[in-house]
Chain A
């Protein structure tokens, strides 16, 4: 093991006790840097070591870790994202959610690679962090403010404008809506840590926001990586043209063409081309986009602002592809101006548009089938006004909104058994837009994802190119290796959009060379892949210890396993139980896990995580 920490690392972990404001620092172990890299890996290690297996995700024993990666602030583009790691109130397992903007770049300069929040503040507060440490400041007067208002109020209070980089929760987080998110309003692009309920965890800790001011640490790459970075940049700009022009919304039309874009709570997976066109990236660009926005250290500028006069919206964040699935197609709402309004509202209230959208669509189907006792005038599919009304109700836990605020799985538990048939998610987390029926790699990837229904464990990108979309052959290993790829990328805190385009959708020489240039290590491609595998196994071990990861839990919802896609180009596709079981056998064997999906002692030893495994 290396015994010196490479100079791209700030060197310390900062622990903040919210109850009394005490802080401690701990030096980053050079061996840990090499084993876990940063970001996702560092966050998972903190959660493994500090959260007891029985801790309530919404109780003070949960910990929220905010981590950055080793290439943050180096000439390599798009590597300056941040990671929030925590135990999720949706899945009760480990979760990491990433975000962009400028805060992670500022965190890097404080020298604190990972910052952890422990316990709970006595009253609503915000946490202020700079190069000297942290301070808990009262935020009682910010109660009820939305995410943007909160960021602005804290910037005003600190008096440094956008040099105070703020990540805030909205009313949904304060009300512990289980899928509440947090939003960072930076000068150049919004960053949203969208999934898993990190906003609810912050709310349960009485933390309204985290504010970071720059310190004096500047990462220094060990090797001369400038030439390599410039070379990388050329390809990256070429391969991300669609992203630069349309943001992620460019996916709506092509995926609808494939017949793999959920409609009407997944009752079908294709709509008329005119409907898709109405909520597509092409329409957004032509009619509503006013400017491009970007994260720190990224020339791709995939972010966009949109203006909708009829809704009184000026320069709001553009809805991402996943949000268009959750809040438009799944609802059969194709009135784009209302959809933009609902998305803007969710951002302001601080709610994950995927989990919220899928849960609302689930509620609409339960209402259609007579399973929901609440009367709501806006629970029919296609009702655009319902979007806006239900967003407010959810964030404030009013009427049926109080049920929606628990997420679809908990909502189903409170209804007749039939409701379970209409769920669309895994391990308590609603699926993203990439079809669990129409893409075989997503079927096994979602079933085994440590985050549950996340599209950032196994990635869909290669599947849309015709790889492992329609066959189960070799697909379990493909899904596992894609999970290594995402765990590695999130540990590097690299933007996935860019890495898949410019660097490659699999772990390869590009990543290895960049890591070696930045750190001065001499890792092989295999060793770099081992890092991703190690982080993924550590996450799995946390989930095993919490009783949420085994063969029974690695499953898919009823509709995905029992109802083939009814029409369109993907007609007939689904993942019957016997197909899933056989893929699980192959997946566990490829991973070195036992028949129940637990990493074996040999695997834990091979991945050099015996010490951390003991703590979970």
Chain B
């Protein structure tokens, strides 16, 4: 199945793309996508995951809803899900 990944701010700079569609196997979790991204992009190493969860302040949304309202990193993705990833933002 395919999912859409959307990157914002400094995460976008590290990945070099604003969006991408990626094929993942059924049963893929949010955590495994984040872990793959950390491995693929040196600029993201250690930034997305922390102590077995999403790193503090990093906003990961599944179809617009914060993954803490699902199962956090254990959330299982479904086909055509949209995962948006934003680094810690303060201000506003």
Contacts and interface: CB of A to CB of B under 8 A. Distances in A.
Contacts of B66: 258, 464-466, 469
Interface in A194-244: 239-243
A273 B12 CA distance: 15
Interface in A489-546: 496-498, 500-501
B67 to A, nearest CB: 8
Interface string A417-451: 00000000000000001100000000000000000
A585 interface: no
A568 B64 contact: yes
Q: What size tier do the contact residues of chain B reach?
A: 20 to 34
Contacts of A433: 92
Q: Which of B56, B59, B64 has the most CB of A within 10 A?
A: B64
A163 interface: no
Q: What size tier do the contact residues of chain A reach?
A: 35 or more
A249 to B, nearest CB: 9
Contacts of B68: 465-466
Nearest to B58: A465
Given A282-B9, A568-B64, A455 B59 contact: no
Interface in B34-92: 56-57, 59, 61, 63-66, 68-69, 84, 86-92
A185 B68 CA distance: 42
A243 B12 contact: no
Nearest to A459: B92
B28 to A, nearest CB: 20
Contacts, number: 96
B92 A258 contact: no
Interface string A102-125: 000000000000000000000000
Q: Which of B13, B63, B89, B92 has the most CB of A within 10 A?
A: B92
B91 A258 contact: no
A254 B92 contact: no
Contact of B89 (A251, A455, A496, A498): A251
A464 B65 CA distance: 10
A257 interface: yes
Contacts of A466: 66, 68-69
Contacts of A497: 90-91
A262 interface: no
Nearest to A469: B66
A254 B59 CA distance: 8
A257 B8 CA distance: 10
A260 to B, nearest CB: 9
Contact of B92 (A241, A273, A322): A322
B9 A258 contact: no
Nearest to A501: B90
Interface string B8-30: 11101100001000000000000
A434 B69 contact: no
Contact of A242 (B6, B18, B64, B89): B89
A253 B92 contact: no
B90 A500 contact: yes
A281 B9 contact: yes
B9 A465 contact: no
A461 interface: yes
B90 A242 contact: yes
A505 to B, nearest CB: 8
Nearest to B11: A242
Contact of B8 (A250, A270, A496, A568): A250
A289 B8 CA distance: 17
Contacts of B59: 254, 464-465
A490 to B, nearest CB: 15
Interface in A553-590: 568-570
A285 to B, nearest CB: 9
A486 to B, nearest CB: 13
Given A245-B10, A254-B84, A254-B86, A321 B64 contact: no
Contacts of B9: 242, 245-246, 250, 253, 281-282
B81 to A, nearest CB: 12
Given A259-B64, A466-B68, 5 more contacts: A253-B86, A282-B12, A321-B92, A434-B92, A501-B90
Interface of B: 6, 8-10, 12-13, 18, 56-57, 59, 61, 63-66, 68-69, 84, 86-92
Which A-B residue pairs are the 6 nearest by beta carbons?
A569-B64, A466-B68, A497-B91, A501-B90, A466-B66, A248-B91
18 contacts: A243-B90, A245-B13, A247-B91, A250-B9, A251-B89, A254-B59, A257-B84, A277-B18, A282-B18, A322-B92, A433-B92, A434-B92, A461-B90, A466-B69, A500-B90, A501-B88, A568-B64, A569-B61
Interface of A: 239-243, 245-248, 250-251, 253-254, 257-259, 270, 273, 277, 281-282, 302, 320-322, 433-434, 455, 460-461, 464-466, 469-470, 496-498, 500-501, 568-570
